[in-house]
């Protein structure tokens, strides 16, 4: 597929998926492996705010989803195979490949009813659950400055991690990266006490034709506890129905580079169901998924350091 054609399509499509958006850009650092000594991985994540809704999404996820949407609109539902019979997603117009992301999911929040929806896509189908845990922030009197904004400290335990947030009271948006919201101002800095996850606000921009996502009426609603099982059920239904869109999903799940990045909740089924009886920890955000490389040795394509260590609190 011609790179130029893809670029033209991306900027010419109009419709419900595209609208003017306030985009808050964060530099996001993740420690992919707390056992071995490795460098922090850095990528961009976006908090896109439009009307009463916000969307948390990584730059790589946004690029991949927007391009996939365009290809589907053109009737293309199969991924091209390389000479080595591996699925190849079309490259970006600049010739670069879309990089793996730690955030293979979307967080859709509604500021009117304070709902937080964790969404994953299988093909074009959505599976989601609504966050049911309260965010009990403890706001400190401690203040500082960051990026020309006055910021104030707040702390909270969530998902098995202790988080410190710095919010800007002058930005009257009660929101922030990932699932976090509920403070009297936008969260500009966020970090867990182990230093495994760090979000730092970089800048705000206005995007006239931003790709966006919303919950579809036919989306499969799940719960935190049953999420992995419901995802597997939807995927199996698509396979049994020989749905061609599963080709994109298969690529999206298998294109992670060996040992490179955390793929969010795309671990093996069972990752959200507590201890699995084999001594593995209760990892809400997925368990290490293993594949076999050419030498028969396991290659890790899945989560090594999930953002949530438990689904209990």
Higher pLDDT among residues 254 and 144, named by residue: 144
What percent of the chain clears pLDDT 70, i.e. is strictly above it?
68
Q: Which two tokens stand for residue 50?
A: 């439009």
- CB neighbourhood size of 103 (10 A): 24
Supply the pLDDT for residue 224: 93
Whole-number CA gyration radius for the chain: 19
Q: Is residue 211 part of a domain?
A: no
| 176 within some domain | no
For 226, phi then psi, to 5°, come to: -100, 10
Give domain status of residue 246, yes or no.
yes
Domain, as residue range, for 252: 224-300
pTM exceeding 0.85: no
Q: How far is the C-alpha of 62 from the C-alpha of 53, rounded, in Å?
A: 17
The number of distinct structural domains making up the chain is 1
Q: How confident is the model at residue 8 (pLDDT cuts 50, 70, 90)?
A: very low
**Mapping DSSP to helix (H, G, I), strand (E, B) and coil, where does residue 171 land?**
coil
Q: Within a domain: residue 285? A: yes
Asked if the structure places residue 2 within a domain, the reply is: no
Asked if residue 236 is part of any domain, the answer here is yes
Domain-located, residue 239 = yes
CA dist 267 → 2, 94, 220, 271, 284 (Å): 34, 31, 19, 7, 10
Residue 172 maps to a domain: no
Average pLDDT over residues 219-242: 92
75 — pLDDT class (breaks 50, 70, 90):
low
């Amino acid at each position: 597929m011609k790179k130029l054609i893809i670029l033209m399509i991306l900027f010419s499509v109009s419709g419900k998926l595209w609208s003017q958006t306030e985009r808050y850009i964060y530099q996001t650092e993740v420690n992919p492996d707390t056992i071995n000594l490795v460098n922090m991985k850095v990528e961009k994540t976006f908090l896109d705010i439009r009307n009463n809704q916000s969307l948390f999404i990584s730059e790589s996820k946004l690029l991949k989803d927007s391009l996939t949407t365009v290809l589907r609109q053109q009737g293309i539902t199969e991924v091209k195979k390389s000479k080595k019979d591996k699925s190849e997603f079309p490259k970006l117009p600049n010739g670069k490949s879309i990089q793996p992301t730690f955030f293979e999911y979307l967080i859709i929040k509604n500021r009117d009813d304070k709902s937080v929806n964790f969404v994953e896509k299988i093909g074009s189908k959505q599976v989601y659950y609504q966050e049911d845990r309260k965010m009990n922030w403890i706001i400190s009197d401690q203040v500082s400055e960051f990026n020309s904004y006055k910021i104030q400290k707040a702390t909270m335990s969530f998902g098995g991690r202790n988080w410190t947030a710095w919010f800007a009271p002058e930005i009257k948006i009660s929101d922030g990266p990932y699932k976090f919201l509920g403070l009297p101002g936008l969260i500009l800095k966020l970090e867990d006490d182990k230093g495994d996850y760090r979000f730092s606000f970089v800048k705000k921009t206005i995007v006239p034709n931003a790709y966006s996502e919303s919950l579809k009426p036919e989306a499969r609603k799940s719960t935190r506890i049953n999420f992995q099982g419901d995802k597997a059920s939807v995927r199996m239904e698509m396979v049994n129905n020989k749905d061609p869109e599963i080709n994109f999903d298969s690529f999206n799940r298998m294109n992670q580079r060996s040992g490179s990045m955390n793929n969010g909740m795309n671990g093996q089924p069972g990752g959200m169901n507590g201890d699995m009886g084999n001594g593995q920890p209760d990892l809400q955000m997925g368990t290490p998924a293993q594949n076999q490389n050419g030498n028969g040795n396991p290659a890790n394509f899945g989560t090594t350091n999930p953002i949530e260590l438990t689904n209990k609190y």
